[in-house]
Structures are given as C-alpha cells and as structure tokens.
Structure 1
Amino acid sequence: MITGGQSFVSSPPAFSHDGKKLLVCTGRTVSVFSTSTGMLITELEGHADRVTSIVVIPVAVAASKFVSYCWTSSLDGIICYWDFSVPELVKKVKVGLPIFSMVIPNVSRNPVGSNEKMSTLFAYLSVEDINKPADQHKALRGQIQIYNLTNSHRVKGLLAETLNPVFISVSKSGEYIGIPNKRKLHIWKVPGKDCKCDEIKKIKLYHTKKLSTLAFHPYERMVAGGDVTGRILIWRGFGKRKFSENLQATGKGRTTNEEERPGVRGDDDADSCATWHWHSSEIKFLFFSSDGAYLYSGAKEGVLVIWQLDTGKRKYKPRLGSPLLYFTDSPDPSLSCISCADNQIHLLKMPTMEIKKSIAGIKLPFSSPDGYKGLGSEFAYDHAAGLVALPTKDYCVQFFSLYDNLEVSEVQVCEKNFQPADDVTIYVALISLSADGFVMGTVDVKLPEERLGGLVSLKFWKHGSRMGEYSLSTVIYEPHSDAGISALAFRPGHDMAVSSSFGGDFKVWVHSSYTEDTDQMLQKSGWRCQSIGSYKKKPMTAAAFSADGSVLAVAAGTVVTLWDPDSNILVAIIGDTLSPITRLSFIGKSEYLVSSSKGSKPQLSVWSTSNLSMYWSYKLFAQDVSCTADGSQFAVLANHNSLDDTTTRDGDGVILLFDVENPVPLATWSVQKAKRGGLTFLPPNPSFHDTKCKEGKDTSLLLYINGDHEYVIFDPHSSEENQIRRNAQKSQAPPEEAVRFGYASIYGELPDISLKKEQIPEIPFVPSERPWETIFSGSSHVLPPLTKLCSAFLASLLEKRPSGNE
C-alpha cells in the first residue's frame, strides 16, 4: 500500500553535515530531501510511531564526505542510529517511554573521522511517564532523563519533572542544555565525561510570564527566552557563579557589582537581562545566527524578525503566508530553512533571506464555521491524474499528487493577504471537479460582520496547459440569493453543472460562447444559468448525476427527486428517509443510487431507480461514500458512534465495502481519525500496481484520507499487505559534487580558457530549390544590391514550363 500526507513540520528538521540534504520528520519515517532540487531522495523506515527528533553526527574534515550518520527518536520509545547515505539502520536503543525531544550534547565534541578517542555518548531525553494517570490533576508526566547510547542503558536519576513533556535546547558547543518550564528557564551545564544526575550543575532564570522557547548564543554565555505574550528576554553572563570552575574567585555570595545588574530578577545568576517586544503572540522559536551577531524570532504573524544584538534594531522577512514554527541552520553558512504551520519548509539563501526552494506537503486541516460549511466531503479528486484537491487556510485550493506525495499546484480562489487573527472571515466552502478534470467549481463564503456584508460566490475555472493549473472563467455572486450552497456537481460528458441550495432550489449551469457587440467583436465564453428547479420549497441538500449524465438526482430534505437535466422536468420521486439526506451518489453504471443521512437518526440507503423504491438500508452514520466508476461496489466511511462500539476511541471509525446486491459487507477495515475523513476509488496505476490485472476483475484502488489529511492507498480486493509500493527513489538528487576549497569555495570554479583558436568547420554551400525563403536573410551590409536580388526574386515567383513547338 501507499501512504502519504504526513506532516513535515511536526518536529524540527536537520541538515546533513555538508548541507546538501535535509532530513525531515514525516510521521513514522524520516524523509531525506535534496536541498538543491527540493525532491525526495530516500526514506528511513524503522520506527513504529511518530519521529520526534533528528541529531546528525558531524563529520571531521579528514573523514570521507560519504559518511552520513544520524540519531532519531520516536514516540515508540526507540532511539535509532542510521547511515542515511545507504540508507541502513545500524543500531536500536530501547527506552520504553515515548520520547518527545532528544539532544546529544557531546556529539559535536567527537565528530566522525576525528583522531580523538571516542567518548561515551549521552542522550538527554524529554519523555512522558505513561505510568502516571493522564486525568490526574497536576500530575508530572514529563521527565528529563539521561541515556547512555554507547552501553544502551539509562543513567539513574532525573534532571527535572514537568507537567507535560517539553522541548530540549542545546548550545552549539554542547556545553549547556535548557528547557522552558512555566515561568522559569532550567539550564544545566553538561559535564565532560561522566553524567550523574545528582552532580550536574543547574540554574534557574525567572520571568513573570510563561516561557515557551529558548536559544543559546553560539559563543558567549548568553541565553534568549520567549514567552507566550510575544516578549523576548536576553540574559547575558548567566551561570557565572554556579557554573564557574573557580569557586574561590567568585565566592558563594553576591559580587560587589551585584546591584548593577539591570533587568535581573531576584537572585538570578546573570549579569543583565534585556526585554524586546514586537510579536503579538506566543514566540515559537528563537535562534542566534552563526556569527552570533543576530537573533531570529518567529511567531504567528508569519514574519521572520532579525534582531541586531548590539543595538536592538530589527529587520523583517515578511509575507511568508503562515505562522512560523522552527528555524534551522545548516553547516553551509549560505543556507538555512524555516518551517511553517501550513506544512511547508522554505530553504532560505543567507544572508538575503531569499526563498531558494520550498518543500510543500499536503495542507493541514483547519476549522471553519459549521453553520456555513457544505454538507458533503471537503475533498475533490482528479481520478485520471491521481490528484486530490482540498481547500487551504490561505484561501487557495491545493492540488496534491497522491502517488508522488508532493504538491502539484495551488489555485488562489480569494485574493486576500494572510492575517494571523483567529477569527475566520472568508473561506473556501466547496470544491468540485468534472469527471475529466477540465473544469473546476468552487464556492467561497465571506462571513457577515454584525449581520452585514456576507457574500457567497460561485466560481468556475478552466484547466490550463499544466497539471493542476486552472484559470478563472466565470464568477457568479449570490447564485442562490442569500442562501448557502449545499452541493455542486458536474454532468459527465457535458458542459453542465448543478448547484443546490439550502434556500429550496437548485440551478443548472451551462457553458456557452458568445460574441460581444463591440468594435473589436470579442469572442467570450462563460457559464450561465439555464434553468431552476425546486420541490415543495424544501431545502436542496445534495445533488448527483448518473454515470451517463441522463438523470439528475437532487435531495429535497428526506426525499430524492429525479430530473431530466436537459428539459429540467421532474421525472420521479423516491421514498423517504429518517433524516435529511446529505450525500447522493450513483453506483457506477447501474440503476442504483446510494444516499446518506446525518443527524439524530443517521441512515445509509440504497435505492433502485427502476422500481423507485428502497433496496436496503442501515442505521449508519456515514462520514463519506464513494462508488466505483464501472462496477457495482461502493465503500462507506462510518464513525464508530453509529456502530455501538464503546471500545474504540473517539474519532476512530471503519471502512465498509459493499456490493449493491448484498447488504452484508464484502470487507471491513478499522481506521483512525475518521472524523472529517474522505474516501474515493482510484483507477489502477501501472507504475505502482504490481499485481496482474485479471480479466473481469475489478482492479480499482481505494483511497482513505483521515482527519489529519494523512492518507493510504490500497487494493480492497487483495489480502496482501504490501501489494503497492511508491518508488521512493523516483526523484533522485544530483550526484555529489567535489568538495571545493579556497577560491573555488567562495567564487566557484574558474572557466577553462583555451589558448588555441577555435576552429570553425566550413559548411559547404548547397543551392536551395526554394531560394526566396533565404534570399533576404543576413546582415544588410553583406546582402547583394537590390538590382541583382529583384530578378532572382521575380524569377522564383514564376512557374517554369518546358518550351515546345505548337
């Protein structure tokens, strides 16, 4: 099976020792990307739960450039040692508790390939004590432990206990580690050799607000802390009394200049403390530049702020379009990266902060007002191209390749700048694609402010020359007056669409071309309303066309109405359900129709259009329904609440595979995060479908997307677990370049200059049979005079005939 859609920004990434690769935590795997192309090189698979930390082992100058090792930690309680150039799992260390953060301070002191004797590696872990009850008030479930990676055993004792697991920061030299804990910073000095918890020196720095992050200066004894209100505190000269080796020189009491410590609170061990404030929300990251002259900060505003340490002046890298999460530097001083909340990692060219490349994953879900959202699935699919289209928080539609696990394109639906405010004022409510993917329809909603200014817009888009590229064709404001749109569907094989509304009507839209009566006589095309239909003024809550496009089904509350889409004549009415129907779909090319209802009395029903009656039904809360294009099967994603199963967790569910002739499911699969999930059948892809297609057998693949936009593609008709594989080596990075030194490392290689004059080969002249095509070609100063050209030109226009005696 194929998995994808993992978050790229759940944890900070890490650069390889040469800066040519970026290691990213993607769910249970570590994805290795090329920094020059932004493409996936390989994946490290071995963890059973989400990977939380990556520590790359530095390489000494004398070592081979092909040596690439790293340590990774995971919520499965395992620490793994990898050679990611192969890739190969070298070693596993079992901790037994979920690991939320890991640093290895002394790894920088003993790089691979150095002549120094390799010392014992100690990992400092932030773990969760799962033995303590989670519902217990103020239970300290977070622990800071030390683990001996060389001997694979834990060092006795705890450095600290916290309410929840926290992120650990380490200095560049590996001399200090620290964590934010409520209104304090805990800082430890890492010993050189043995690590005994009771002997490690520790200080605390206090603040009046809750601290969220910290960062150490690369060279000076300076630490920066950020709080939840957007303030940044800079402590200089921390730990001079506690961490000093010469205790006699410092003394146990206060120094003579203790009263001149500006900004320091109480008895904090620091020389001074300065406060800076620009951000309006919680500081997500702080990072000192490699030369120690600047401090980078990021928060919800989507602006990278660069602070000059000596003066406090600041510069900005604005319009990143999403809240910022992490900043990571590279061994290459001209490269760094920034992780954003919209599941993108931007590779920055330093020091200009220009975005060099972007590694974009699937857009993460966001909350939208339930009262304005359509009742159907929030996903749309281009089945032929293997793409999923989904709305984003920045008012776009993202087209994501399911087989390649990468972003194809983004279509800007609403022109609006990114705003960090929590209040949602505009969003994309519905997306629909035609069966061939040539036309897209979107519905965006602008929410009213104090009951004024609301607007619903229906937009039609035409496909461009590239995959996932669409241009705006028609905009229709308030297509159903002031009522919201519940569904949008396209008629197969025709330039026709239908939109249904909660206001009690549906409209049929057709695409047509016309000529404007102007001086230029412009030829234009667009979408217009052909007809309007309604049934007893009931809310129209769902709509679907049959496979051949001859029948239009529209749900009017608890009944299904069947229409002739060409004449807009009501043909028939089918039955009655317990709750209003929220989704309709024709089952392949058969005569059957499936509907789902939500509410207090959920129901899944199969209808026969030939008998105009219900065929069979279930009391089932269907989150999504998908039917095969040609066969008689359909799949249902159901929440566990409708299955009377109290053993499953909230949000879990089950996928049921049905044949229309049999109410007993053909197969079932238990899934997680079913709420706001989606289903669809995909045609078989020869590049990934390894099983041989048997004649007469349905070879469609089934796609499941959960509420976190993680997805899996599998064959529902096969019991083999690994029948489909994505070719992870499909997009290879360019081969390793030779290491440059001196002048070449700064300015690049000098061009080869040949002292010999280049020999230009002579091109023999061949008379053309069509001389008029080249007769006037060339520079004006080398062309023959017009008197000579005219006779040849006129002769070329005359038809030559053989002379004969009459």
Structure 2
Amino acid sequence: MITGGQSLVSSAPAFSNDAKKILVCTGNSVSVFSVHTGMLITELVSHTDCVTSVIVVPISGPVSQLMSYCWTSSLDGCICYWDFSAPELLKMIKVQLPIFSMVIPNISNPSIWMNEKESKLYAFVSVENKSKLAEHPKAPCGQIQLFNLTDSRRVGGLLCETRKPEVLHVSKSGEFIGIVNKRKLNVWCIPSKQFRSDEVKRIRLHHTKDLSTLAFHPVERVIAGGDVTGRILIWRGFGQRMFSKKQLENGARIKDEEVRPGVRGDDDADSCTTWHWHAREVKFLFFSSDGAYLYSGGKEGVIVVWQLDTGKKKYKPRLGSPLISFVASPDPTLSCVSCADNRIHFLKMPKMELIRSISGIKLPFSLPNAHDSSSHGFAFHSMSGLIALPAEDYCIQFFSLFDNMEVSRVQICERNFQPVDDIMVRVSIVALSADGSTMGTIDVKVPEEGLGGLVTLKFWSCASLVGQYSLSTVIYEPHSDAQVSEIAFRPGYSMAVSTSLAGDFKVWVNSSSNGQECEMNPKSGWRCQSVGSYKKMPMTAAAFSADGSVLAIAVESIVTLWDADRNALIAVIGNSIGPICKVSFVANSQYLISLSRCPKPQFAVWDLSKLCMHWSYKLVVEAVSSTEYGTQFAILAINSTNCEAKISDLDGVILLFDLENPVPLSAWLVKKAKGGGLAFLSRDMLKEKSSDDGNSPLLAYVNGDHEYTIFDPSSKDDHIVRNARSTHVPDEEPERTGYVSIYGELPEFDIKRKKVSEIPFVPSERPWETIFSGSSHILPPLNKLCSTFFESLLEKRPTVNL
C-alpha cells in the first residue's frame, strides 16, 4: 500500500546539526529531506497518529557528522527517540494522552545531561485530557505536564491547565518556556538542574487582544508576542522581580507608568513597545541569532524584518502564500519558512534569497459559490499516476501519486497572490483528456456587488511530458454569463464538450489538422462546432463513452444521449429520484452510472441497450471510477448511518462492484470521505508489478484533506513497492571548508583571455568603480576585492616552460 499527500506544514520542521538535512512532520511519520536537493532521504515510521513536534539533539564538533538523534511527539500519546541517520527507533515513552506540543529546555546544553551521571533530560508536553468533560462540559482539557525522559516517567503535578492544548515555546538557552493563553502570555522560569513542576516560577503578561504567538530573545530578557489583529508587542526586562535571584527590598513593586512605559497593570516587565504592520493575525515571530532583528510573518505572505533597537523594518515579499512558521538552521546563512500552500522555502540569509523549495500536495481550500460537483475540482491521469489540483494562487499543480512529489505547476491566471479573506478569482474546473495531451480549465471571476463577473474557458496543449502545458485557446464567456458545470473530452478525438446551467452545451473542436499544437501552426486553436440543448433545462454533467461515439449529458433528473458526430439526440433515459450531478460510462460496456445527491441521493446503473435502470442504491456517493477494461467499478459513499463509524472517524466506505451483481465484491472503510475522489491507476509507473496479474489496475483514494492511499483491490497483500525515484537517496552537496565555506569560490584566472588595452584606464576595464559600491554588510572581504583590483591593472602573460 502506498500512502502520501500529508501536510508538510502541520508542525515546525527542524534542521540537523550539520544543516544538510531537514526533518519534517508528515502525518504519522517524520520525513528527512536533503537541504541541497530537496529530495526525500528517509522516513521515521513508528507513530500511529499525527506527529506534532520534532526536536534534534544539538551536538557540536566533528562527532555531529556521525551522531544524528532526535525526539518526536505525537497525538498517539508517545514520545520517541530516534537515530535518524540509520533510521532506527531507540526508545519510546508512553504518555497515554494526545501530545499537541513538546519542548525540551535543557537539551540546548548537552553538557548538563550528557556528562554528569546524575543529570536528567526533561520534557514539557502540552496534552489533551477530556476525562472531566463528561461531568463538566466547560472544564479545561489542555494540560502542561513534565516528563523525565531519562527515567521514562512523569514528574510532579500539572504545570498549568488551559481551555485547549496550547503550543509550547522555549528560549534558546532553555531558561524560559511560554504559551499563549487567550489575552495573556504565561512564562515559566526553568531551573538549570532540579526540575519540579511545583517549584517552577510563572509570570503573566497581559494584552487587550487575543494573542497568537510568541518568541524569546536569545540572550536578553525580551519577549515578543503577536496578536490576531497584526500587532507585535515587545516586553523588555520581563521577570526581573519574580525570576531574579535578588528580590526587591520589602517586595516593593514599581507601578509608575512613566518608569514602565506601555506595561499593563502589575505585569513584571520594564517596558512594552507595540509595532503594527500586519493587517491580520501574526503567525510566527523569530529572533535572529544575535538578537538584533525580529522576523514576523502572517497571511500577507511577507516576511517582515524588524530592527529591534529602532523599530525600522525591511521586507521579503512575494512568497505567494500565507506564512506559518520560520526556523533557523545551525548554519547562519540558511533558514526556512513554511507556507500555507504546503511548501517549505529555503532562504539564504541575510538577504533572504529563495534558493529552493520542498512542495507537498496542494491543500484544500474553500471556494465561494462553488458548484457542487463530484469531481471536486481535481482530475486524474491514470496512465502516469498524476493528479491535477487547482490551488489558491490560481495555478494547477500536477502531483505524482506514486512518487509523492510535485511534478509541475501551470499558472492559469496571471495574478499575484492577494491576502484577502474572499477569493475573487478561482479555478473551478480542471479536466484532462484520456491521453493527457489536452487540458481544459474554467476560471471564474466572482462579481462584486453583482458587477464584473467573468467566466473563462481555456484549452492547454501538452508538451513532451504530461504536466507541462502551454496555453492554446482562451474563450471568454463560453456560455454567455452562465456558469459552466463540466468539461469532458472525447477519447481519441480533438473534441470536448462543456455544459452550463443555462440549459445548453457546446461542442469544441481543435481547428488544427492533427489536434496538436505546434510552433509551425500558430493559428491552430479550439472553436465551437455545434450547440445543443434539451427543453432549455440546466445541464449539470457530461461524459463520453469509451469509443467516443455516444455523449451522455445529465439534464436535471434525466440523462440525454447524443450522437457525438452529428450532435443529434438519440434517446432519453430516466427518471432518477433527484437531480443528477455526475455521469460516467463503465469501460467499453453499454452501461452508464449516474449520481444524485440532494435532496434525494441515489446511485444508479443504467443499461443503454435496454434504456432502463439496471440496479440502484440510495447512497450519497462522492466519486465513482471504473477500470479501463472489464466490468468493475468503485464508488466512494458517505457512511452517515453507521454510528460506530462516526466514533472512529470512518465516515466513508469504498465499494467495489461488478456490473452484473449489485452485491459489492469488496468494501473498505475510510476517513475524511467528504470531498474525496477515486481513480483506477495503471501499474506501468511502478518499479515492481504483481506476480499474479501484472495488468490489474490499482485503486487510488484521495480524501478531503488531499491525503491519499493507493492499493490493489484484487489482492489480499496490501504491500506495493514505491517507485525507485522516490526512495533514491540523493547525493549531498560537496562540503566546503576554510576560505570557501565563508566567502565562496574565488574567480578563476584564464590565461587565454583577451589582453587588456594599451591604455588600461578605460570605462570597460575599471571594476573598482563598482566593486567598492554598495552597503558595507554585503561587500566581499578586502582580500577578494584587492585581488580583483590588481588583476585588472596587470597584464597577464602565459608562462613558458624552458
């Protein structure tokens, strides 16, 4: 069984000690990627639920190249200790409660817990305990507990109780930990050696708005907090009274606002400063290693760099998606930022230049006024194992289900990402031809106050590989101002049909002779060949038969059959009990499947030779897919009547049918069925094929969160070997040492280059006019500048060996 599509940004990642690898929480496992190539190296698989945190054990020196250890926590209630270079699970601690966050304060100082015999390693965990909710529905279920990782046991009582589990933050020195609790920051001072929850001191810092995140200064007693309105608060000198060893005489408390500007009430801080640039919630705050700068990010997709002393700011814009977290590596020239579109960008510091990215599958997002279609906006290409998904940034992502990686991105609308609450432009439909040579898309501009709406149909031609598409034809308002409900391609022909809710369908053909776009025929494109309708009733779905001779179009609760060549009505079948939202032919047979949902759901199989219903079920079906050959097909149904399924989150069921038998051949319970999809995939892309039947197709299930599973529906053995490309360990970047590791490569001297002019002081040969220009913090070192300077003054001659 192949699984993939997990979120890469559900939790903050962590760099290895040599900054050559990055550990990413991906569902129930931790994926280790190469920073140099962005490719998957290995996976840490042991948890049975989502991994919520990963902490790399900091080890410096040459031994860091050999020792690669980390701690992980999960919602399954376990803490695991790994050697991720092997990879090997070394230790497991059972907490018995779902862990939402974990920090290990004294791990930042290995000399405390590695060298001394009596030293211990402690972890603070944020867990969820619902035991009190049965008696008290409003009882807090979030708890912060202390665990001894060395002895695998819990220590003391509760550190704190909150309404829900909160994310823990720790300072770089391990001296402080903190959480966001509504309009307060709770900060604890952690002792260096003795860990007891009842002796840990706590202070509270208050705000007038709900806080969203916090960050500790690396060396000073400064803490930054961000709120939901976009404001950033900087508390300086926090905990001077409570956390300091020298208490004020007689417990005196300073309350003069002039002495403590910006501090609210009796908060233990010297001052509080407020900055405001973000228009919405601040998602992350991060101090630079020297503490001089503060990085912040949010929904705007912009990293703001604040100078802590002056409040001046710089920007890293156009990241194309809302930002979630920011993590620095042990290499001061490398950092990464996690984005809401399931991408991790690597940044070269301090310029924050984007050098490469790791792209996961596009996560689902809500569409305003989206038409209810069983396709859910994505399409499959069974031969290559690709799925095409519309993204929030107006592009189509082609994602390989076998390799669990992005193949390409096609920009549908040339628009910059705008961090607004309402999406004004959306890609509502994407359809692929059977051979993948053509793609059709519908993008809709949502009208503002009833004005400015626009529906655009676009046809795209494929290059050498599926997923590489170029724009062929743009058709504005293909059905006047009506909404397009579906696009279907005719197998083996350069023909497509689009249906609309206005009551008509249009047949589009490619005007080029061979149906392919090429540079030699620039006038080739798509045009409307014919138009059809049936009693001016809304048309909601369309599908071609396997040979392309019959076109089936759903018209409310009936199905009309058309001659695809003559555009003539052949027959009308029905009547179903509700409006039909999807029609599909079953391979090369004369059977047709129709799906109806609200208000009366029905799944029906029609015999076209008899023009009558073959058999049906009253089921809410999300998706249907049939094999390319044969008489089998699968449906994804919502399992809304099973109470046990609701408890275990198994809200859907996949049923495998044969046309002649209404009794399912097999059934599989699945999670997150709402918004999911099904597709039969070819085995050609697999490294190994089944020994029993190498031609039997695989079944892919994509759930509502775009997580997917690929399995063999005809085999009891669910083990399938992933493609070799996904398990290949990439070559690492050559290690740089000495001068090159700091300043980079020096320019090579070419003795065969053209000699300088007899008059050396000409504008083209005066590099010192530019090499000494610019800001001082970005200039190269003097030894590199001088070598370039003197090289331009000297005439190079080839050496002659005597």
Q: How far apart, in 2, do the equivalents of 1:134 and 1:480 lie?
A: 56
Structure 2 equivalent of residue 220 of structure 1: 220
Alignment of 1:228-307 (within 5 A): 228-247=228-247, 252-254=251-253, 260-307=259-306
Secondary structure of the residue that 2:478 maps to in structure 1?
coil
Q: Deviations over 1:637-679 (max 9, x none)?
A: 00113x5657525781100000001000000000110001000
Does structure 2 retain, via aligned residues, the 8 Å contact 1:375–1:541?
Answer: no
**Residue type of the partner of 1:69?**
Y
**Residue type of the partner of 2:308?**
L
Alignment of 1:161-200 (within 5 A): 161-200=161-200
Structure 1 equivalent of residue 150 of structure 2: 150
Q: Deviations over 1:726-772 (max 9, x none)?
A: 558633232475573x43431357799999xxxxxxxxxxxxxxxxx
Does structure 2 retain, via aligned residues, the 8 Å contact 1:651–1:675?
Answer: no
1:605 equivalenced with 2:604 (yes/no): yes
Q: Deviations over 1:169-225 (max 9, x none)?
A: 101011111111111111111111121111111111111111111100011111111
Q: Deviations over 1:694-751 (max 9, x none)?
A: 38xx6110000000000000000111232444558633232475573x4343135779
Once the two structures are TM-superposed, the CA of residue 370 in structure 1 deviates from its matched residue by 3.9
Once the two structures are TM-superposed, the CA of residue 138 in structure 1 deviates from its matched residue by 3.3
Once the two structures are TM-superposed, the CA of residue 86 in structure 1 deviates from its matched residue by 0.7
Secondary structure of the residue that 2:448 maps to in structure 1?
coil
571-580 or 122-131, larger mean C-alpha shift: 571-580
Structure 2 equivalent of residue 108 of structure 1: 108
Alignment of 1:593-672 (within 5 A): 593-641=592-640, 643=641, 647-648=645-646, 652-672=651-671
Does structure 2 retain, via aligned residues, the 8 Å contact 1:5–1:405?
Answer: yes
Q: Deviations over 1:540-595 (max 9, x none)?
A: 11111111111111112211111111111111222311111111111111111111
Q: How far apart, in 2, do the equivalents of 1:469 and 1:561 lie?
A: 35
Q: How far apart, in 1, do the equivalents of 2:748 and 2:419 lie?
A: 52
Once the two structures are TM-superposed, the CA of residue 633 in structure 1 deviates from its matched residue by 0.5
Secondary structure of the residue that 2:186 maps to in structure 1?
strand
Q: How far apart, in 2, do the equivalents of 1:37 and 1:479 lie?
A: 43
Does structure 2 retain, via aligned residues, the 8 Å contact 1:184–1:207?
Answer: yes
Structure 2 equivalent of residue 469 of structure 1: 468
Once the two structures are TM-superposed, the CA of residue 509 in structure 1 deviates from its matched residue by 0.5
1:709 equivalenced with 2:706 (yes/no): yes
Q: How far apart, in 2, do the equivalents of 1:53 and 1:522 lie?
A: 55
**Which residue of the other structure, out of 734, 741, 746, is the alignment partner of 2:742?**
746
Q: 1:474 to 1:62 in 2, by over 3 A?
A: closer
Structure 2 equivalent of residue 526 of structure 1: 525
Q: How far apart, in 2, do the equivalents of 1:523 and 1:321 lie?
A: 33
Structure 1 equivalent of residue 23 of structure 2: 23
Structure 2 equivalent of residue 47 of structure 1: 47
Q: How far apart, in 1, do the equivalents of 2:750 and 2:368 lie?
A: 69
**Residue type of the partner of 1:400?**
F
Q: How far apart, in 2, do the equivalents of 1:18 and 1:523 lie?
A: 52
Instruction: Using structure 2 for the length normalisation, give the TM-score.
Output: 0.89
Secondary structure of the residue that 1:448 maps to in structure 2?
coil
**Residue type of the partner of 2:646?**
T
**Residue type of the partner of 1:130?**
K
Q: 1:394 to 1:751 in 2, by over 3 A?
A: closer
Percent of matched pairs sharing the same residue? 62
Q: Deviations over 1:593-644 (max 9, x none)?
A: 1111111211111111111111111111111111111111010000113x56
Q: Deviations over 1:124-172 (max 9, x none)?
A: 0111113132895532111111000000000121111110101111010
Does structure 1 retain, via aligned residues, the 8 Å contact 2:229–2:282?
Answer: yes
742-751 or 162-171, larger mean C-alpha shift: 742-751
Structure 2 equivalent of residue 60 of structure 1: 60
Larger Rg: 1
Secondary structure of the residue that 1:685 maps to in structure 2?
helix
Does structure 2 retain, via aligned residues, the 8 Å contact 1:408–1:467?
Answer: no
Structure 2 equivalent of residue 718 of structure 1: 715
Does structure 1 retain, via aligned residues, the 8 Å contact 2:683–2:689?
Answer: no
Q: 1:371 to 1:21 in 2, by over 3 A?
A: closer
Secondary structure of the residue that 1:400 maps to in structure 2?
strand
Once the two structures are TM-superposed, the CA of residue 115 in structure 1 deviates from its matched residue by 5.3
Q: How far apart, in 2, do the equivalents of 1:397 and 1:730 lie?
A: 26
Q: How far apart, in 2, do the equivalents of 1:409 and 1:686 lie?
A: 17
Does structure 2 retain, via aligned residues, the 8 Å contact 1:705–1:712?
Answer: yes
Does structure 1 retain, via aligned residues, the 8 Å contact 2:683–2:698?
Answer: yes
User: Unaligned regions of 5+ residues in structure 2, if any?
Assistant: 514-518, 752-802
Secondary structure of the residue that 2:351 maps to in structure 1?
coil
Secondary structure of the residue that 1:414 maps to in structure 2?
coil
Q: Deviations over 1:295-317 (max 9, x none)?
A: 00011111110000111000111
Structure 2 equivalent of residue 676 of structure 1: 675
Once the two structures are TM-superposed, the CA of residue 119 in structure 1 deviates from its matched residue by 2.3
Structure 1 equivalent of residue 36 of structure 2: 36
Q: Deviations over 1:412-432 (max 9, x none)?
A: 111222111111211011110
Once the two structures are TM-superposed, the CA of residue 377 in structure 1 deviates from its matched residue by 3.5
**Residue type of the partner of 2:63?**
A
Q: How far apart, in 2, do the equivalents of 1:134 and 1:526 lie?
A: 65
Q: 1:601 to 1:291 in 2, by over 3 A?
A: same
**Residue type of the partner of 1:468?**
G
Alignment of 1:78-477 (within 5 A): 78-110=78-110, 119-133=119-133, 137-247=137-247, 252-254=251-253, 260-372=259-371, 374=373, 376-477=375-476
Does structure 2 retain, via aligned residues, the 8 Å contact 1:60–1:112?
Answer: no
Does structure 2 retain, via aligned residues, the 8 Å contact 1:551–1:563?
Answer: yes
Once the two structures are TM-superposed, the CA of residue 384 in structure 1 deviates from its matched residue by 1.6
Q: How far apart, in 2, do the equivalents of 1:256 and 1:527 lie?
A: 76
Structure 2 equivalent of residue 550 of structure 1: 549
**Residue type of the partner of 1:747?**
Y
Q: How far apart, in 1, do the equivalents of 2:598 and 2:688 lie?
A: 39
User: Unaligned regions of 5+ residues in structure 1, if any?
Assistant: 515-519, 756-806
**Residue type of the partner of 1:52?**
T
Let me know the Cα RMSD of the aligned residues. 2.4
Secondary structure of the residue that 1:743 maps to in structure 2?
helix
Q: How far apart, in 1, do the equivalents of 2:458 and 2:735 lie?
A: 52
**Which residue of the other structure, out of 688, 699, 723, is the alignment partner of 2:696?**
699
Structure 2 equivalent of residue 782 of structure 1: none
Once the two structures are TM-superposed, the CA of residue 117 in structure 1 deviates from its matched residue by 5.4
**Residue type of the partner of 2:96?**
G
Once the two structures are TM-superposed, the CA of residue 267 in structure 1 deviates from its matched residue by 1.6
Secondary structure of the residue that 1:284 maps to in structure 2?
strand
Does structure 2 retain, via aligned residues, the 8 Å contact 1:214–1:225?
Answer: yes
Q: How far apart, in 2, do the equivalents of 1:25 and 1:703 lie?
A: 23
**Residue type of the partner of 2:743?**
Y
Does structure 2 retain, via aligned residues, the 8 Å contact 1:489–1:498?
Answer: yes
Structure 2 equivalent of residue 540 of structure 1: 539
**Residue type of the partner of 1:446?**
K
418-427 or 169-178, larger mean C-alpha shift: 418-427
Structure 1 equivalent of residue 9 of structure 2: 9
Q: 1:416 to 1:660 in 2, by over 3 A?
A: same
Does structure 1 retain, via aligned residues, the 8 Å contact 2:297–2:323?
Answer: yes
Q: How far apart, in 1, do the equivalents of 2:20 and 2:521 lie?
A: 52
649-658 or 675-684, larger mean C-alpha shift: 649-658
Once the two structures are TM-superposed, the CA of residue 120 in structure 1 deviates from its matched residue by 0.4
Q: How far apart, in 2, do the equivalents of 1:225 and 1:441 lie?
A: 46
Once the two structures are TM-superposed, the CA of residue 246 in structure 1 deviates from its matched residue by 2.4
56-65 or 140-149, larger mean C-alpha shift: 56-65
Does structure 2 retain, via aligned residues, the 8 Å contact 1:505–1:534?
Answer: yes
| Aligned length in residues | 746
